């Protein structure tokens, strides 16, 4: 793809031109940059707990997590309230319902099973809409993609991991679950090795979730910023049509990626929950 060539060029240029501004744009910071109107300094909360320095500062990404949460609360409350008036949804409620039934019938039901699907639907629905909203917020002007921060995706994967293990242990019992990690029919001398391998497998799943979401959400932004940066690096305005066209293309791609990544995260969480519940398969 041409954009990778562009990125390579940009990287080469970065040897002499500082392009750390790209990273600055993507990473977390303690200020909200709303440029023509100035900047908002976010409160810093730091305290010492049992000799450990804890930094619970409100950062840009925390703010966007909260914005996403508030948007979701309002949207979902509105959708739910529509059902009180009539069982037939209209407008936005219809879209939300379509997605919810999709998560229920296409993601949860085939992977977890009809009976358990409804039980995990609140978790799966919340994680889908939360990731989707965070992804889309990053595409707005002045927006930041909280899901392009590895701490955020790691936390979400951690919650998903706990949910998977919890579901498995609740269904099969703690000992039964641990026993069930080793597949049937494994020779006795292989059991210790298999146990270690399976245990590692448990942890690689959330790790893969973390990296996948983080990398996908970061990559698009990096490419867009690099394309825009090309104008300044080459110091000519004539490159701007190319930059803008490519950036627009990547932006549209990111719109798709935002949806796909939310779907994949939900799908894989659902799949892992299903695997933890139905260990025999």
Partner 1 sequence: MFNVHLFLNFILLYSGGEKGGLLDINPGLIFWTIVTFILLLFLLKKVAWKPMLEALKQREDTIRDALEKSQQAKIEAEKILEENKKNLALAEEQTKKIIDEGKEFSNKLKADILEKANQNAKKILDQAKLEIERKKEEALGELKEVVADLTIQATEKLIDESLDKKKHRQLVNKFISTLPKH
Chain positions contacting partner 1, by CB under 8 A: 1, 3-4, 7-8, 11, 14, 20, 23-24, 26-29, 45, 54-59, 61-62, 65-66, 69, 72-73, 76-77, 79-80, 83-84, 87-88, 97, 100-101, 104, 118, 121-123, 125-127, 130, 146, 149-152, 154-156, 158-159, 215-216, 218-220, 222-223, 253, 257
Residue 155 or residue 236: which is nearer to partner 1 going by CB?
Answer: 155
Residue 108 or residue 182: which is nearer to partner 1 going by CB?
Answer: 108
Instruction: Output 118-122 pairs: Cβ under 8 A, ≥24 positions apart.
Output: 120/163, 120/167, 120/270, 120/273
CB contact at 8 A, 39 and 32: yes
Q: Could you tell me the smallest distance in angstroms from the CB atom of residue 178 to partner 1?
A: 25
Interhelix angle 2-13/240-277, nearest 10 degrees = 110
Residue 172 or residue 216: which is nearer to partner 1 going by CB?
Answer: 216
Q: Could you tell me the smallest distance in angstroms from the CB atom of residue 176 to partner 1?
A: 27
Distance of CA 160 to the CA centre of its chain: 11
Residue 71 or residue 194: which is nearer to partner 1 going by CB?
Answer: 71
Token reading at 65: 């997590």
Q: Could you tell me the smallest distance in angstroms from the CB atom of residue 180 to partner 1?
A: 27
∠ CA 59-123-160, nearest 5°, is 65
CB contact at 8 A, 128 and 103: yes
Residue 101 or residue 236: which is nearer to partner 1 going by CB?
Answer: 101
Q: Could you tell me the smallest distance in angstroms from the CB atom of residue 94 to partner 1?
A: 12
Label residue 194 exposed, middle or buried (CB < 10 Å: 0-12, 13-18, 19+): middle
What span, in angstroms and rounded, lies between the C-alpha atoms of 272 and 275?
5
3-state secondary structure of 38: coil
Residue 62 or residue 275: which is nearer to partner 1 going by CB?
Answer: 62
Q: Could you tell me the smallest distance in angstroms from the CB atom of residue 38 to partner 1?
A: 21
Q: Could you tell me the smallest distance in angstroms from the CB atom of residue 99 to partner 1?
A: 11
């Amino acid at each position: 793809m041409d954009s990778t060539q562009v990125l390579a060029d940009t990287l080469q240029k970065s040897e002499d031109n500082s392009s750390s501004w790209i990273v600055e744009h993507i990473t977390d910071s303690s200020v909200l940059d709303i440029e023509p109107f100035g900047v908002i300094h976010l409160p810093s909360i730091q305290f010492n707990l049992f000799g450990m320095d804890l930094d619970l500062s409100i950062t840009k990404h925390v703010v966007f997590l909260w914005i996403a949460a508030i948007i979701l609360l309002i949207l979902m409350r509105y959708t739910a309230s529509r059902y009180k008036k009539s069982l037939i949804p209209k407008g936005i409620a219809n879209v939300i319902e379509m997605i919810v039934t999709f998560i229920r019938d296409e993601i949860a039901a085939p992977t977890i099973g009809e009976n358990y699907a409804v039980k995990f639907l609140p978790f799966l629905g919340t994680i889908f809409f939360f990731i989707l909203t965070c992804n889309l917020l990053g595409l707005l002007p002045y927006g930041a993609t909280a899901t392009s921060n590895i701490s955020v995706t790691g936390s979400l994967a951690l919650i998903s991991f706990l949910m998977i293990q919890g579901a498995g242990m609740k269904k099969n019992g703690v000992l039964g679950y641990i026993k069930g990690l080793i597949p049937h029919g494994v020779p006795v001398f292989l059991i210790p090795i298999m146990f270690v391998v399976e245990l590692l497998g448990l942890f690689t799943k959330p790790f893969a979730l973390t990296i996948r979401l983080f990398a996908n959400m970061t990559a698009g932004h990096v490419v867009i910023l690099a394309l825009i940066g090309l104008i300044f690096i080459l110091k000519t305005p004539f490159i701007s049509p190319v930059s803008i066209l490519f950036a627009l293309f990547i932006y549209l791609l990111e719109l798709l990626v935002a949806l796909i990544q939310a779907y994949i995260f939900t799908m894989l969480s659902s799949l892992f929950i299903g695997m933890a519940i139905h260990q025999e398969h």
